């Protein structure tokens, strides 16, 4: 699906977006990013971080206090939602309860005065796309949660938007259905070739589906990049702790050593903190890694494919280790153990 | 400002109407209260003499006292009848019978106040239904008519729905788990009621009391017709002052009545805040699961008889062969129906009532819905004051506003036309429309509107396609309510008609002042039949739109669900 406009530039671009509410509530402090054509881009952050507001600004449902939105290179300032080449899948779906599935999907094309035959074609192909062929005559209330979800996506895609905006669309589904829908979404995105901007507070969702993602906090973007990059090399303490679990040691740096809560951690360079993922932390006896500490094994949590160890150091600091191998199987709660990691495993953070 | 332009534009028509008609009239009235008419007819302006006369004269304080006493007795009586009725209705297990019960309680609202008052005259009269029952057993005759008691009996009947409705609401919000918890903790049925149900429904009771008190102190037609000149309250006093051409005194009395209404509002509001426990989380209990004891059914039956009796008596009396309201009618005839159609000016009065009611309903629906959207969907500065302003006509007694409108329309040279009637009626019905539509909009999902806009619908179209279908039942209800209120309006309209004009209820009011014959019964019967036909039509329409099924389906009952297919 190729739309109008330049084919080389990004599909969506946000420049210096700020949103201040009258009542003083925080909206968005400063947001800049671009989304390439056909990209699956996610905004991830805790509730109230401004991700949904940013999405609504993209949709034109809210005007930014300052800053600019460009869709396919075209400035959107002053253009209301109904005249933007974006469409949205709402958190609460917002399917029209008084219209059938087919009429819900036909809503946009009809407003655009497409001839009846073309509308029928669009509805048919959309139902096929979301695997709901034959469900056109049903009402939304007669569908299951996952089916309603797919109708909402079909309805938003029926307008052939330049960018599809998704506001936590899977939030209401149970875990099993959510995983199924994640796969379905990826497939739909691939098949339709549409650019997706996806908002979620669920890091697994963002990590598994996105081509690139932005981690947001308190109205600002903490970091943007591919999921693996953000996970492996977080730039801020927020990203490090929000994405996955980590052992975070904050302190002062001096001569290759970060002094934190009574222990010294050898690090690769100067910084305010160091983050060590549990899977990089060893536990046992006679360790050889550069950072080694004595402690008492406080808890062993079997998780199936891996096992977690909570080691309490003499200084009181809790270190978490996650191991895949069976080596630790001889360890039991209360044992005096060693725990440690290589210098390279620690990611030094300055913010 | 530009951001809030839509919000202010939507509110503008209502604000213009209320400022131009309502506030204008009330200010003119205030100015008039600082006039004084001397016995020789001279009009002195800028004087507090009339206020001084009112405030220092013992007679006027007596009237204020009588107004308060009448209001209090009516309120207490309505609470004593209304609370057990609401409670009994709440305990009716089958939702169908609960709705039938509610319909019976509310049905009299669809008939004219004059009709209902007339029904009570037939029952309480010297040779009426009550005395025909009491006399044979040696208890009569009792003289109830033209005393305060008859006014109270009729007012309780007329205002009962306003007491029952808020209590039913708060009983409906009561989570049965509270009662169960109390029972589990060892409380018996009575203690459970006193310790749990009653305190938690007190806000509803106070809300009902507030409505009944406000409406009873400002009621005019009933004390005027059933009091026979012996029940003197502020409302009748205003009417008498106007008839005696002492407009400044009428203006002062109007403001005294308004002050009383405002004080009552403050007192009830204070009571509400004192007793109101933390808002109950929106759990709506699907009717009480407790068994419906026989005692409650008997109570409900008695209340149904009380509520329906005047209407039934009217219908029977309309076929009476004699011209006086004696019971039982000595013979049957249809001559009062024939007489009805010979009445001069009745056709014109009906036509004017219809014209005014339809115009006021349409006007109030359009501007009222617009301001409701502004209040619910926008967060503009001045929203609170706007809401208070739009609802302010409910505080002002209709007699006071009627007299204010009388002076004001004269000044504007609009008196005697249809336009003046339409705008004043619109002022009266606008708050009802705003309240009903606001409530519906708050329940409606605003995301659907956003979705429609997102899919390419311009704002007005998005509203029509996404929001309107959601609030349609409320709009129908609001329009019906507005129509009925305007069509039956007497208290205000008596002041606003020129000698050559008449509306149907005012025609009935004047007729009842002069004559006692069953012509009025014949007319009331026709109106009752028409009202029932309209109510039935609306009920069918609403039922088709699925409102009732959504009301009767309890949250636990799942809506038809289709199993998730293998295709996900």
Among A162-166, A310-314, B288-292, the least confident range? B288-292
Best to test chain A binding among B448, B451, B550 (most A CBs inside 10 Å): B451
Look at residue B239 and tell me whether its pLDDT is greater than 50.
Answer: yes
How many angstroms separate the CA atoms of B118 and A110, rounded? Answer: 57
- Residue B520 Cα distances to B325, B336, B406, B566, angstroms: 11, 8, 27, 70
CA nearest to A91 within chain B: B447
- Whether B445 and B381 map to the same domain: the answer is yes
How many angstroms separate the CA atoms of B267 and B213, rounded? Answer: 11
SS3 call for B523: helix
- Residue A260 Cα distances to A172, A253, A271, A274, angstroms: 41, 9, 12, 10
- Examine residue B52 and state whether it is found in any structural domain, yes or no: no
H helix runs in B286-417, sequence order: 294-317, 335-342, 346-377, 383-391, 398-411
- Whether B241 and B280 map to the same domain: the answer is yes
What is the tally of structural domains in chain B? 2
Please tell me what DSSP assigns to residue A3.
-
Q: The domain containing residue B354 runs over which residues? A: 1-32+343-517
- Whether B176 and B295 map to the same domain: the answer is yes
- In DSSP terms, which residues pair with A214 in a beta bridge? A43, A224
A63, A132, A142: residue with CB nearest B560 = A142
How many angstroms separate the CA atoms of B247 and B33, rounded? Answer: 8
In chain A, the N- to C-terminal Cα span, in Å, equals: 41
Q: Is B379 on the interface with A (CB under 8 A)?
A: yes
Distance (Å) from the alpha carbon of A35 to chain B's nearest alpha carbon:
20
CATH of domain A12-238: 3.40.50.300
Q: State the span(s) of chain A assigned CATH 2.40.50.100.
A: 245-349
CA nearest to A65 within chain B: B3
Look at residue B280 and tell me whether its pLDDT is greater than 80.
Answer: no
Can you give the pLDDT at residue B286? 40
CB contact under 8 A, A144 and B451: no
pLDDT tens, B497-526? Answer: 998 899 999 999 999 988 888 999 999 999
SS3 call for A264: strand
- Examine residue B534 and state whether it is found in any structural domain, yes or no: no
pLDDT tens, B421-453? Answer: 999 999 999 999 999 899 889 888 888 999 999
Q: Is A147 on the interface with B (CB under 8 A)?
A: yes
- Examine residue B53 and state whether it is found in any structural domain, yes or no: no
Q: State the span(s) of chain A assigned CATH 3.40.50.300.
A: 12-238
What is the domain-level CATH number for residue B386? 1.10.3720.10
- Residue B566 Cα distances to A72, A146, A175, B55, B558, angstroms: 38, 11, 17, 82, 22
Helices B398-411 and B418-443, axial angle in degrees (round to 10): 130
Q: How far is C-alpha A342 from the chain's CA centre?
A: 29
pLDDT tens, A45-100? Answer: 998 899 999 999 999 988 899 999 999 999 999 888 888 999 999 888 889 888 89
Longest dimension (CA), chain B: 95
CB B294 within 8 A of CB B306: no
Transcribe B253-303 into DSSP letters.
Answer: HHHHHHHHHHHHHHHHHHHHHHH--SPPPS----S--S---HHHHHHHHHH
- In DSSP terms, which residues pair with B563 in a beta bridge? none
Please tell me what DSSP assigns to residue A346.
P
A61, A63, A144: residue with CB nearest B564 = A144
Q: How far is C-alpha A49 from the chain's CA centre?
A: 12
SS3 call for A20: strand
> What pLDDT band is residue B559 in, cutting at 50, 70 and 90?
very low
The phi, psi pair for B126, rounded to 5°, reads: -55, -35
- Whether B320 and B351 map to the same domain: the answer is no
Both structure tokens of B126: 């010297």
How many angstroms separate the CA atoms of B444 and B473, rounded? Answer: 12
- Whether B315 and B411 map to the same domain: the answer is no
How many angstroms separate the CA atoms of A225 and A228, rounded? Answer: 8
Can you give the pLDDT at residue B179? 63
Q: Which residues of B touch A60 (CB under 8 A)?
A: 454
Can you give the pLDDT at residue B267? 92
- Whether B13 and B70 map to the same domain: the answer is no
- Angle made by CA atoms B460, B461, B464, in degrees to the nearest 5: 90
pLDDT tens, A196-218? Answer: 999 999 888 999 999 999 999 99
- Whether B221 and B308 map to the same domain: the answer is yes
- Residue A83 Cα distances to A77, A194, B457, angstroms: 11, 18, 8
Can you give the pLDDT at residue B375? 93
Please tell me what DSSP assigns to residue A143.
S
Q: How far is C-alpha B141 from the chain's CA centre?
A: 34
Please tell me what DSSP assigns to residue A5.
S
The phi, psi pair for A65, rounded to 5°, reads: -70, -40
Q: Is A94 on the interface with B (CB under 8 A)?
A: yes
Judge residue A142's burial from the number of C-beta atoms within 10 Å of its C-beta, 0-12 exposed, 13-18 middle, 19 or more buried: middle
> What pLDDT band is residue B289 in, cutting at 50, 70 and 90?
very low
- Whether B318 and B357 map to the same domain: the answer is no
Considering chain A, what is the average pLDDT of its residues?
88
- Whether B456 and B323 map to the same domain: the answer is no
Can you give the pLDDT at residue B549? 44
**Element of type H or E holding A199:** strand A195-200
How many angstroms separate the CA atoms of A213 and A204, rounded? Answer: 12
Closest CA to A289 of A230, A339, A214, A239: A339
How many angstroms separate the CA atoms of B21 and B18, rounded? Answer: 5
- Examine residue B54 and state whether it is found in any structural domain, yes or no: no
The length of chain A is: 351
Look at residue B567 and tell me whether its pLDDT is greater than 60.
Answer: no
CB contact under 8 A, B455 and A94: no
Question: What average pLDDT score do residues B54-78 get?
Answer: 93
Q: Is A155 on the interface with B (CB under 8 A)?
A: yes
- Whether B174 and B319 map to the same domain: the answer is yes
Q: Which residues of B touch A88 (CB under 8 A)?
A: 450-451, 454
Q: Which residues contact A137 (CB under 8 A, 6 or more apart)?
A: A100, A101, A102
How many angstroms separate the CA atoms of B314 and B305, rounded? Answer: 14
Q: Is A141 on the interface with B (CB under 8 A)?
A: yes
CB A127 within 8 A of CB A154: yes
The phi, psi pair for A300, rounded to 5°, reads: -125, 120
Q: Which residues contact B488 (CB under 8 A, 6 or more apart)?
A: B111, B112, B113, B505
- Examine residue B553 and state whether it is found in any structural domain, yes or no: no
Can you give the pLDDT at residue B367? 97
Cis peptide before B546 (omega within 30 of 0): no
H helix runs in B174-246, sequence order: 176-184, 189-192, 198-217, 221-226, 234-243
Residue linked to tokens 């002069």? B514
Q: Which residues of B touch A107 (CB under 8 A)?
A: 452, 455, 465
Judge residue B158's burial from the number of C-beta atoms within 10 Å of its C-beta, 0-12 exposed, 13-18 middle, 19 or more buried: buried
How many angstroms separate the CA atoms of B400 and B402, rounded? Answer: 5
Return the top range by mean pLDDT from A10-24, B317-331, B346-360: B346-360
How many angstroms separate the CA atoms of B458 and A5, rounded? Answer: 24
Among A3-12, A309-318, B51-60, the least confident range? A3-12
Q: Which residues of A touch B450 (CB under 8 A)?
A: 61, 81, 88, 90, 94
- Whether B452 and B508 map to the same domain: the answer is yes
CB B228 within 8 A of CB B236: no
Return the top range by mean pLDDT from B92-101, B224-233, B305-314: B305-314
Distance (Å) from the alpha carbon of A9 to chain B's nearest alpha carbon:
24
Can you give the pLDDT at residue B284? 37
pLDDT tens, A95-152? Answer: 988 889 999 999 999 988 899 999 999 999 999 999 999 999 999 989 988 899 899 9
Both structure tokens of A216: 């947001």
Q: Which residues of A touch B462 (CB under 8 A)?
A: 82
- Whether B155 and B287 map to the same domain: the answer is yes
- For the domain made up of A245-349, give the CATH fold: OB fold (Dihydrolipoamide Acetyltransferase, E2P) (2.40.50)
HEC profile of A59-113: HCCCCCCEEEEEECCEECCCCCHHHCCEEEEECCECCCCCCCHHHHHHHHHHHCC
pLDDT tens, B195-224? Answer: 778 888 888 899 899 999 999 999 999 999
Question: What average pLDDT score do residues B247-259 get?
Answer: 93
Can you give the pLDDT at residue B281? 39
Distance (Å) from the alpha carbon of A177 to chain B's nearest alpha carbon:
8
SS3 call for B201: helix
Question: What average pLDDT score do residues B280-286 get?
Answer: 38
Can you give the pLDDT at residue A176? 84
- Examine residue B238 and state whether it is found in any structural domain, yes or no: yes
SS3 call for B142: coil
Look at residue B187 and tell me whether its pLDDT is greater than 70.
Answer: no
Transcribe A283-313 into DSSP letters.
Answer: EESS--SSEEEEEEEEEEEE-SS-EEEEEEE
How many angstroms separate the CA atoms of A57 and A80, rounded? Answer: 10
Can you give the pLDDT at residue B283? 36
Q: Return the higher-pLDDT residue of B403 and B277.
A: B403
Neighbours of B534 (CB within 10 A): 14
Look at residue B182 and tell me whether its pLDDT is greater than 80.
Answer: no
pLDDT tens, A155-180? Answer: 999 989 999 999 998 877 888 888 88
CA nearest to A187 within chain B: B568
Best to test chain A binding among B383, B455, B459 (most A CBs inside 10 Å): B455
CA Rg value for chain B: 25
Q: Which residues of A touch B454 (CB under 8 A)?
A: 59-61, 81-82, 86-88, 156
- In DSSP terms, which residues pair with A18 in a beta bridge? A66
How many angstroms separate the CA atoms of A17 and A159, rounded? Answer: 26
ipTM: 0.76
How many angstroms separate the CA atoms of B282 and B170, rounded? Answer: 11
Considering chain B, what is the average pLDDT of its residues?
85
Look at residue B545 and tell me whether its pLDDT is greater than 80.
Answer: no
CB contact under 8 A, B453 and A61: yes
């Amino acid at each position: 699906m190729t739309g109008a406009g330049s084919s080389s530039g990004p599909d969506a671009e946000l420049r210096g977006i700020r949103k201040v509410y009258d009542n003083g509530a925080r909206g968005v402090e400063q947001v800049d990013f671009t989304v390439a054509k056909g990209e699956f881009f996610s905004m991830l952050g805790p509730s109230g971080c401004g991700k949904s507001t940013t999405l609504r600004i993209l949709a034109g449902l809210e005007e930014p206090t300052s800053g600019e939105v460009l869709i396919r290179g075209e400035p959107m300032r002053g253009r209301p939602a109904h005249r933007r080449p974006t469409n949205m899948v709402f958190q609460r779906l917002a399917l029209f309860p008084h219209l059938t599935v087919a009429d819900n999907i036909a809503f946009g094309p009809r407003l655009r005065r497409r001839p009846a035959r073309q509308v029928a074609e669009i509805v048919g192909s959309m139902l096929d796309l979301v695997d709901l062929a034959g469900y056109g005559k049903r009402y939304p209330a007669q569908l299951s949660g996952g089916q309603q979800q797919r109708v909402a996506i079909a309805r938003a895609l029926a307008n052939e938007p330049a960018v599809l905006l998704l506001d936590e669309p899977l939030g209401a589904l149970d875990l099993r259905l959510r995983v199924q829908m994640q796969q379905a979404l990826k497939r739909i995105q691939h098949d339709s070739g549409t650019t997706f901007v996806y908002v979620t507070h669920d890091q697994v969702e963002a990590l598994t589906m996105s081509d690139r993602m932005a981690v947001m906090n308190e109205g600002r973007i903490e970091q943007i990049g591919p999921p693996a990059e953000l996970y492996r090399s977080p730039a801020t303490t927020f990203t490090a702790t929000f994405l996955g679990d980590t052992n975070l040691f904050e302190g002062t740096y001096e001569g290759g050593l970060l002094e934190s809560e009574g222990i010294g951690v050898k690090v690769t360079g100067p910084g305010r903190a160091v983050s060590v993922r549990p899977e990089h932390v060893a536990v046992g006896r006679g360790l050889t890694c550069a950072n080694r500490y004595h402690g008492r094994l406080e808890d062993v949590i079997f998780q199936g494919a891996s096992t977690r160890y909570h080691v309490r150091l003499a200084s009181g600091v809790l270190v978490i280790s996650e191991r895949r191998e069976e080596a630790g199987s001889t360890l039991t709660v209360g044992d005096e153990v060693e725990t440690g990691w290589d210098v390279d495993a620690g990611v030094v953070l300055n913010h | 400002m530009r951001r809030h332009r839509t919000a202010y534009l939507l509110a503008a028509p209502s604000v213009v109407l209320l400022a131009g008609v309502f506030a204008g009239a009330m200010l003119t009235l205030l100015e008039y209260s600082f006039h004084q008419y001397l016995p020789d007819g001279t009009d002195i302006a800028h004087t507090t003499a009339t206020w001084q006369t009112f405030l220092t004269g013992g007679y006027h304080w007596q009237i204020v006292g009588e107004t308060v006493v009448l209001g209090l007795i009516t309120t207490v009586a309505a609470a004593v009848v209304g609370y057990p009725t609401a409670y009994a209705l709440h305990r009716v297990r089958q939702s169908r019978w609960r709705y039938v019960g509610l319909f019976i309680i509310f049905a009299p609202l669809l008939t004219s106040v004059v009709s209902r008052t007339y029904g009570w005259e037939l029952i309480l009269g010297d040779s009426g239904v009550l005395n025909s029952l009491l006399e044979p057993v040696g208890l009569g005759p009792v003289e109830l008519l033209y005393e305060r008691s008859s006014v109270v009996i009729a007012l309780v009947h007329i205002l009962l729905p306003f007491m029952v409705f808020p209590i039913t609401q708060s009983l409906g919000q009561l989570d049965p788990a509270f009662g169960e918890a109390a029972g589990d903790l060892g409380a018996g049925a009575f203690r459970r009621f006193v310790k749990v149900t009653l305190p938690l429904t007190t806000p509803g009771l106070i809300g009902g009391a507030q409505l009944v008190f406000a409406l009873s102190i400002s009621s005019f037609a009933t004390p005027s017709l059933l009091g026979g000149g012996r029940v003197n309250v502020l409302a009748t006093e205003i009417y008498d002052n106007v008839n005696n051409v002492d407009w400044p005194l009428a203006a002062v009395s109007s403001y005294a009545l308004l002050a009383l209404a405002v004080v009552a509002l403050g007192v009830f509001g204070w009571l509400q805040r004192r007793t109101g426990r933390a808002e109950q989380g929106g759990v709506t209990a699907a009717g009480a699961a407790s068994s419906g004891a026989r005692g409650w059914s008997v109570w409900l039956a008695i209340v149904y008889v009380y509520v329906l009796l005047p209407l039934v008596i009217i219908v029977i009396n309309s076929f009476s062969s004699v011209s006086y309201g004696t019971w039982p009618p000595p013979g049957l005839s249809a001559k009062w129906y024939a007489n009805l159609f010979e009445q001069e000016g009745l056709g014109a009065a009906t036509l004017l009532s219809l014209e005014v009611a339809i115009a006021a309903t349409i006007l109030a629906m359009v501007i009222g819905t617009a301001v409701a959207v502004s209040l619910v969907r926008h967060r503009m500065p001045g929203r609170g004051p706007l809401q208070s302003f739009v609802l302010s006509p409910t505080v002002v007694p209709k007699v006071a506003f009627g007299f204010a409108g009388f002076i004001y329309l004269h000044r504007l040279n609009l008196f005697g036309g249809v336009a003046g009637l339409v705008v004043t009626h619109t002022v009266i019905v606008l708050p009802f429309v705003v309240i009903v539509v606001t409530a519906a909009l708050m329940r409606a999902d605003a995301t659907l509107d956003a979705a429609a806009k997102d899919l390419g619908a311009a704002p007005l179209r998005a509203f029509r396609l996404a929001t309107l279908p959601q609030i349609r039942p409320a709009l129908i209800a609001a329009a019906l309510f507005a129509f009925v209120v305007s069509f039956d309006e007497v208290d205000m309209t008596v002041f606003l008609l020129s000698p050559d004009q008449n509306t149907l209820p005012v025609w009935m009011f004047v007729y009842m002042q002069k004559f006692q014959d069953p012509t009025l019964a014949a007319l009331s019967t026709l109106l009752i039949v028409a009202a029932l036909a309209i109510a039935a039509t609306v009920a069918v329409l609403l039922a088709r739109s699925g409102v009732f099924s959504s009301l009767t389906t309890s949250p636990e009952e799942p809506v038809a669900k289709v199993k998730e297919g293998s295709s996900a």
